[in-house]
Amino acid sequence: MEGSEDSMSGTIGDRLKKFEQEHEVYVSAQDAQTFWIVNARIPKNQESHHRSRKYVSGPNEQGNVLIFQDYARSDAYSAENWGTIKTFDDFVEKSLSSILEDKKEYDQNKKEGCGTSCD
């Protein structure tokens, strides 16, 4: 890896901490060189269980991203193309934007989720 990428991991860590504080969503990111992962967990409200998301892509995936909608409970996933993703930093930024969209939808539809059927 280039030196500039090593210093970038510190700024990504700071960005994730700030995102967690501002949006009350727990996030982590991993750059495994051949693939990238961002995990997110939106805390539960009183009516439903938490929502989890896992985004998986990589430097040679041409913008294709696998999205595991509730990875803690299911292996089900969807695939999207997010356009050009040149760096891990780009992937993290696009993942955080997607997480915010999911959180807005979740907050607007609080009755969605498992409600009283969760254990």
Could you read off the pLDDT of 85-101 as tens digits, one per residue? 999 999 999 999 999 98
Q: pTM for this structure? A: 0.77
Do residues 50 and 42 touch, judged by C-beta distance below 8 A? Answer: yes
Q: How far apart are CA 62 and CA 37, in angstroms?
A: 15
- Provide the CA 82 distance to its chain's centre, in angstroms: 13
In eight-state DSSP terms, residue 44 is P
- Residue 91: what pLDDT? 97
**C-alpha distance across the termini of the chain, in Å:** 45
Q: How far apart are CA 118 and CA 89, in angstroms?
A: 36
- Convert the pLDDT of each residue in 1-59 to its tens digit: 333 334 445 689 999 999 999 998 999 999 998 999 999 998 766 555 677 899 999 99
Give the DSSP H or E segment for 67: strand 64-68
